[in-house]
Amino acid sequence: MTRAQHQAKPGGKWTALFNEQRATLTTVAEMLLLSGVASGEVLEQALTSLEGSPLRETFGQICAIRAVVKAAIAYKLKNANCASEAEAPVTPKHQFRRIPHVGMLPWPERAVYFLREVLRYSRRDTALLLGMSDANIDQLHKFAEKRIRYFSNASSQLPDVSGSSQTLDRIAAWL
């Protein structure tokens, strides 16, 4: 395939990739925003930023995720001072099995923890994306780990009033 053929219709390929990976990309946007209303707008901004660039099959999903991360961070920073945007309460769709309490973190800690632990971005890359120093990233990451550990310990010490964990598993499977 020649370079001209590869770049002939990159927008259509990006759109197809975004449609195919919509669930994953929406989860990334919602983790960084905790605002389901804005996730569609963020996905559109990310898709627009990628239009015109070549799609290489090997790196397509990685590029799409990175574009969504950049668009979500830009959206969050643009609307940071908006009085109407309050932190949404923690809901199950904003939690991961591996890190169940990440949704309870303040936004800077959540963003750092999500980028470092879930997406496996380097400290430097995270710092550049968030416009912070490496030292700030290290500190926020440490705070996030402490909060998650605290929430995990606190929730494990609560009495089980549900009846059984199997009942909860069945309910979770229905959802």
Alpha-carbon distance values, 21 to 17, 35, 101, 150 (Å):
6, 19, 25, 34
Domain boundaries, the chain: 1-85, 89-175
Residue 149 CB-density burial (10 A; 0-12 exposed, 13-18 middle, 19+ buried): exposed
Give the contacts of 108 (CB within 8 A, at least 6 positions apart).
130, 140
Distances in whole angstroms, Cα of residue 43 to Cα of each of 27, 39, 40 = 11, 6, 5
- DSSP letter assigned to residue 55: P
Q: Residue 91: what pLDDT?
A: 47
- Residues 25 and 19: beta-carbon distance below 8 Å: no
Supply the pTM of this predicted model.
0.73
Cα distance between residue 28 and residue 68, in whole Å = 7
What pLDDT, on a 0 to 100 scale, did the predictor assign at position 170?
A: 45
Q: What is the pLDDT of residue 58?
A: 83
Q: Which residues of the chain are modeled with pLDDT < 50? A: 1-10, 83-86, 88-94, 158-165, 167-168, 170-175
Q: What is the fold of 89-175?
A: Arc Repressor Mutant, subunit A (1.10.10)
| Sequence letter at residue 123 | R
Query: Which pLDDT belongs to residue 36?
Result: 60
